[in-house]
Structure 1
Amino acid sequence: MNEWKKKIQLFLFLFLIILSFVFFKKYIFQNNVDLDNQINLEENNEIIEKSNIIYNIEYSSIDKDGNNFIIKSELGNISNDNANVISMEIVVATITLKNEGIIKINAKNAIYNSKTLDTNFFNNVIMSYAENEINSDNVDLFFQKNLISITNNVFYKNLNTNLRADKVQIDLVTKDIKISMKNKDEHVIIKSIN
């Protein structure tokens, strides 16, 4: 009976992740959606002369359906090699799905590509949607590959379930989810909260 309960909880967890990313794919990250990328810098932003450091940075994109992706950072450093790549510190990303809710990603650091929207969040990453929260060391959003990779010390928590794994990969096209451990001798841990 306990094994059956774990299978149901795993199914519910996977269903929730699939549902979340179906909304991502449908409303925000479609390949042929024209995104309107804007750099919104507050009036009091300081750009240090002869430096690539920017304070209080914000990038936003709105798709044709009115869904909004905003990434904010207290500090950004523009790459010398590629002006589209920005290393960010103290990062908050908000995805507002029209009529569907808000997904938030918080991290100590991120590397953001303003051209492709690919973002690599790292150091104390927390991703939340409704009653669900995923903590990990890394969350990588690869929009050109239609792939989300959540890696290193992945911990999922909702009102009923806790899950621990090393890696969760989500294919936004096929909706396939792979949950795995680095060491094949270790197992994904799923616990029911009663």
Structure 2
Amino acid sequence: MTKRKKIIRYIQLTLFFLSLILIYFTYYYEKTPTGQISLQEENQNQKKNTFENVEYTGVDLNGNRFIIKSQNAEFELNTPELINMKIMNATFYFKDGKVLNIYGDYGNYNNKTFDIEFRDNIRADYEKDLLFADNLDYFNSKGLLLIYGNVESLGEKGELTADKLIFDLKKETLDISMFDNAQIDVKLKR
């Protein structure tokens, strides 16, 4: 082979291998472009839906109507039945005409089971009675209202200080307890 043919062969082989490398990196090499990274981050942020001034209405197992309101609410796309709420309140309208209002800083609402959790700075108004606590859980499926953590109640009939109250709405009973076996503080008015 002449020197000229060797140079042409060398150039052809070089161009052939460069084109193979170019094809590989163009079609087969999976590289994540920077724009795709930002889309993935946005998709992770979009896994939650956020709402303002939310209101849910329903009927509990005893046939009582209720309304739950929240200034801010969000839920994750994989669990849309669990609503996380901030600055929330619930109003229960009982069949006998009485109304119970409950307020809390934040909590959760399950729109399938109608269970409600209130957390921090709980205040409940029932007729002329006030109740304050750290936590309040309403279990619709069990017919229970669980109030715990620094429970204080003020009303026309007296005052109550306890750690835990359990209202059985089906049996219409109230269990009062303290966590550390201390005595429950009850002051009745006549």
Quick one: which of 95, 100, 123 aligns to 2:97? Answer: 100
Query: Does the alignment pair 1:117 with 2:104?
Result: no
Q: What CA deviation, in whole Å up to 9, does each residue of 1:28-47 have, x standing for no partner?
A: xxxxxxxxxxxxxxxxxxxx
**Retained in 1: the 8 A contact 2:139–2:145?**
yes
Find the counterpart in structure 2 of residue 179 from structure 1. Answer: 176
Find the counterpart in structure 2 of residue 9 from structure 1. Answer: none
Would the alpha carbon gap of residues 159 and 110 (structure 1) be closer, same or farther in structure 2, given more than 3 Å must change? same
Find the counterpart in structure 2 of residue 190 from structure 1. Answer: 186
CA RMSD of aligned residues (A): 2.4
The structure richer in helix per residue is 2
Task: Give the deviation of 1:101 after TM superposition.
Answer: 2.2
Find the counterpart in structure 1 of residue 50 from structure 2. Answer: 53
Find the counterpart in structure 2 of residue 161 from structure 1. Answer: 158
Task: Give the deviation of 1:173 after TM superposition.
Answer: 2.7
| SS of equivalent residue, structure 1 residue 83 | strand
Q: Distance in 2 between matches of 1:67 and 1:144?
A: 13
**Retained in 2: the 8 A contact 1:67–1:97?**
yes
Task: Give the deviation of 1:99 after TM superposition.
Answer: 5.0
**Retained in 2: the 8 A contact 1:79–1:87?**
no
Q: What CA deviation, in whole Å up to 9, does each residue of 1:155-176 have, x standing for no partner?
A: 0110241110000112223333
Q: How does 1:129-144 map to 2 (within 5 A)?
A: 129-144=126-141
With the length of structure 1 as denominator, give the TM-score of the two structures.
0.68
Would the alpha carbon gap of residues 122 and 50 (structure 1) be closer, same or farther in structure 2, given more than 3 Å must change? closer
With the length of structure 2 as denominator, give the TM-score of the two structures.
0.69
Gaps of 5+ in 1: 1-47
Count of paired positions: 146
Amino acid at match of 1:133: L
Q: What CA deviation, in whole Å up to 9, does each residue of 1:106-151 have, x standing for no partner?
A: 1111110011110011110111111111110011001112211110
Task: Give the deviation of 1:98 after TM superposition.
Answer: 4.5
Q: Distance in 2 between matches of 1:99 and 1:193?
A: 25
Bigger relative CO (Cα 8 Å, ≥ 6 apart): 1
| SS of equivalent residue, structure 1 residue 86 | strand
Amino acid at match of 1:148: L
Q: Distance in 1 between matches of 2:145 and 2:62?
A: 22
| SS of equivalent residue, structure 1 residue 173 | coil
Amino acid at match of 1:168: L
